[in-house]
């Protein structure tokens, strides 16, 4: 299976590569449009800032490429946020795969949300083999609002979308690559889609 990890100006790619290698896959890290289109699965990870990430994607035509992908795509952390319509982080128009807004947690002295937290209301194939209350590792200051595409919920200050899904696009706010055995289950489930 050909797994591509989208390379752009956002961090955290190395830990995703290592997690996939532990599962027996050798991913290709690339921003080449032909390689991304040809991949069986595409992972869109990221730790960083929304407006500079979107500027990088737009400058290289990767924004429209991502929107046009038809194979399974998994957004992780900033990747989930950029798949939404809009982010309050520096007033950023995002990719619009998922409707809804990404907001800053209030109050600012509680930001960022770092550490282990439980997820619940699990829906969809990413969560096969897991039960409500399983813990995942989070590092973020912005969150996607809950909506009809939410497939898992976490509460930190307020409930938010821990995961979302629409067609071939799936996304998680937490870091499955840093979430131990349960995170490995999610990555493996995605690779089986």
Residue 66: domain span: 3-192
Mean pLDDT by 10-residue block, N- to C-terminus, for the chain (193 residues)?
93 92 97 98 94 96 98 98 98 97 90 96 98 97 97 97 98 98 98 97
Q: How many domains does the chain have?
A: 1
135 tagged catalytic: no
How far is the C-alpha of 192 from the C-alpha of 31, rounded, in Å? 23
Closest CA relative to residue 45, chosen from 78, 84, 88, 3: 78
* Spatial contact of 189 and 127, defined as CB atoms under 8 Å apart: yes
What per-residue confidence (pLDDT) applies to 36? 98
Query: In angstroms, what is the C-alpha Rg of the chain?
Result: 15
User: Computed from CA positions of residues 20, 21, 24, 29, in that sequence, does the dihedral angle turn out positive or negative?
Assistant: positive
- pTM to 2 decimal places: 0.97
Active site residue 177: yes
List the catalytic residue out of 77, 84, 94, 170.
77
Q: How confident is the model at residue 9, as a pLDDT?
A: 81
CATH for 67? 3.40.50.880
Question: Rounded to 5 degrees, what are φ and ψ at 138?
Answer: -120, 145
Kindly report the backbone phi and psi dihedral angles of residue 59, in degrees, each rounded to the nearest multiple of 5, phi listed first: -60, -30
């Amino acid at each position: 299976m050909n797994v591509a990890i989208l390379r752009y100006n956002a961090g955290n790619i190395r830990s995703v590569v290592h997690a996939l290698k532990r599962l027996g896959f050798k991913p290709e890290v690339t921003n080449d449009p032909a390689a991304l289109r040809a991949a069986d699965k595409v992972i869109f990870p990221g730790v960083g800032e929304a407006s500079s990430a979107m500027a990088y994607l737009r400058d290289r035509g990767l924004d429209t490429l991502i929107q046009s992908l038809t194979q399974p795509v998994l957004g992780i952390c900033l990747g989930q946020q950029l798949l939404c319509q809009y982010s309050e982080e520096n007033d950023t128009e995002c990719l619009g795969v998922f409707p809804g807004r990404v907001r800053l947690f209030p109050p600012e002295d509680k930001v960022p949300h770092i550490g282990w937290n439980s997820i619940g209301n699990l829906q969809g194939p990413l969560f096969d083999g897991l039960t409500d209350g399983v813990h995942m590792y989070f590092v973020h200051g912005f969150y996607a609002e809950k909506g009809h595409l939410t497939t898992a919920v976490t509460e930190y200050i307020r409930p938010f979308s821990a995961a979302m899904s629409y067609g071939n696009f799936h996304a998680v706010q937490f870091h499955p690559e840093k979430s131990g055995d349960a995170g490995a289950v999610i990555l493996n489930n995605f690779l089986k889609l």
